[in-house]
Homo-oligomer: A and B are copies of this chain.
Amino acid sequence: MSVVRVDLETPESRARAIRREADEPHSQVVRFGPDKPLRLDAGVELTPFQIAYETYGELNAARSNAILICHALSGDQYVIGTHPATGKPGWWETMVGPGLPIDTDRFFVICANVPGGCMGTTGPASRDPANGEPYGLAFPVVTVRDMVRSQAMLLDHLGIDTLLCVTGGSMGGMQVLQWAASYPERVFAALPLATAARHSAQNIAFHEVGRQAIMADPDWRNGRYLIEGTNPRRGLAVARMAAHITYLSDAALHRKFGRRYQDRDAPTFSFDADFQVESYLRHQGSSFVERFDANSYLYITRAMDYFDLAADYGGTLAHAFRGSRSRFCVVSFTSDWLFPTSDARQIVHALNASGASVSFAEIESDKGHDAFLLEEPELFDITRGFIEAAARARGLPSAGS
């Protein structure tokens, strides 16, 4: 982890820190030259190409204890510890760390920023070698398979042949499934959480609203805002607000906010944020624009929309896992309406049809899609048990030994 300190006092200094991160991240970076381009599904070769990643824990001598974590839409490689560019805690502090379910005392944990992201892996905010300016829309559209392909390049660089486990939720879970399909021999165990084998029409629709909100902002400047010195803050904030609702459940919003007023006892009969839920949403929007790049939001949502694993295997999802010797554990949450349990069941049915080893857990929770990021004891138990069993099967020393 980095020890470089940056000034994060003002929104402007935080914005600068984020922008700097796109080319020169605080994390570890591997740079691939023209001899090793990233071959994209769009049919182009991205070069030069760099991957920004963090690792936690120690790789054992047999190189058999590596766990790859795949991040979701708005995540990045800073899984735990203080984020060097936002000053906030990592996004999976509850799950990853010494003695936690993904135990950094025992496992070598890797997380890489995805291509198209804005935290140091090449993306639309990175400098285009053709002209030295940020790519903007000149950046090619990437897919979930491209993300996984980039991670395989990283593993090659690190000298890791087979992952003990690959895990992640939401878009991270899509990557887990893609890993199992693209590199079955490199995946000992796969733990996809709150995810689907294809993005639904409703989910594409919500993403399209977010993209339209960004593109409707005059400060977006056809994607050239970094060059022209503007920032489509309002559009990105609206996109985030709409998306954020989909990450929670009706029940969670009711429990957290209900119809309670914010700092008042009665309605103001105005368009102020009378209700706590409005105030909360506005905060979600405005804090997101400080840490995320609007074009990255376009590219990463697009990658999720394009994800349809069965389509790459003749329309039959089971064919994606044919002959797989990986062990799977699929997890969904009862109140997740973005990636409902029916999506998880499709994955499980396909894995069963392909003869794979699979267990499935639907966890009772009212926290909605975001449950995989939150305090969910049952998720922790399942994750710990699944990884422990995989480690044992792979001949690693058991916990506490």
- Measured CB to CB, the residues of A under 8 A from B are 41-43, 137, 140-141, 198-202, 204-206, 208-209, 211-213, 215-218, 234-235, 237-238, 241-242, 245, 248, 250, 253-254, 256-259, 267, 269-271, 273-275, 277-278, 281-282, 285, 298, 302, 305-306, 308, 311, 337, 340
Do B306 and A267 have beta carbons less than 8 Å apart? yes
Give the docked Cα–Cα distance between A308 and B260 (Å): 12
Which residues on the B side are within 8 Å of A311 (C-beta)?
A: 259
Q: Which of these, B204, B205, B242, B259, contacts A198 with CB under 8 Å?
A: B259
Do A201 and B282 have beta carbons less than 8 Å apart? no
Q: Could you tell me the distance in whole angstroms from the C-beta of A296 to the nearest C-beta in chain B?
A: 13
Which residues on the B side are within 8 Å of A273 (C-beta)?
A: 208
Give the docked Cα–Cα distance between A379 and B248 (Å): 31
Q: Could you tell me the distance in whole angstroms from the C-beta of A113 to the nearest C-beta in chain B?
A: 21
Give the docked Cα–Cα distance between A302 and B215 (Å): 26
CB-based closest 6 A-B pairs: A216-B234, A42-B269, A201-B253, A141-B269, A202-B250, A208-B278
Give the docked Cα–Cα distance between A254 and B141 (Å): 25
Which residues on the B side are within 8 Å of A212 (C-beta)?
A: 234, 237-238, 241, 282, 285
Which residues on the B side are within 8 Å of A140 (C-beta)?
A: 269
Give the docked Cα–Cα distance between A302 and B274 (Å): 10
Residue from A242, A282, A308 with most neighbouring chain B CB atoms (10 Å): A242
Do A201 and B254 have beta carbons less than 8 Å apart? yes
Give the docked Cα–Cα distance between A231 and B374 (Å): 42
Which residues on the B side are within 8 Å of A245 (C-beta)?
A: 202, 205-206, 209
Residue from A140, A216, A311 with most neighbouring chain B CB atoms (10 Å): A216
Q: Which of these, B254, B267, B270, contacts A200 with CB under 8 Å?
A: B254
Question: Chain B residue with minimal CB distance to A266?
Answer: B311
Do A270 and B202 have beta carbons less than 8 Å apart? no
Give the docked Cα–Cα distance between A359 and B163 (Å): 60
Give the docked Cα–Cα distance between A202 and B368 (Å): 12
Q: Could you tell me the distance in whole angstroms from the C-beta of A206 to the nearest C-beta in chain B?
A: 6
Do A277 and B209 have beta carbons less than 8 Å apart? no
Which residues on the B side are within 8 Å of A242 (C-beta)?
A: 206, 209, 242
Q: Could you tell me the distance in whole angstroms from the C-beta of A196 to the nearest C-beta in chain B?
A: 11
Q: Which of these, B216, B258, B302, contacts A238 with CB under 8 Å?
A: B216
Give the docked Cα–Cα distance between A305 and B281 (Å): 15
Q: Which of these, B213, B248, B275, B302, contacts A213 with CB under 8 Å?
A: B213
Q: Could you tell me the distance in whole angstroms from the C-beta of A199 to the nearest C-beta in chain B?
A: 7
Given contacts A202-B253, A213-B238, A259-B199, contact A208 B269 (CB under 8 A): no
Question: Chain B residue with minimal CB distance to A273?
Answer: B208
Do B216 and A277 have beta carbons less than 8 Å apart? no
Q: What would 13 more interface pairs be, CB under 8 Å, given A201-B250, A201-B258, A216-B234?
A: A198-B259, A199-B259, A200-B250, A202-B254, A208-B277, A211-B271, A213-B216, A213-B238, A216-B217, A250-B337, A250-B340, A271-B298, A337-B337
Give the docked Cα–Cα distance between A201 and B199 (Å): 26
Q: Could you tell me the distance in whole angstroms from the C-beta of A228 to the nearest C-beta in chain B?
A: 16
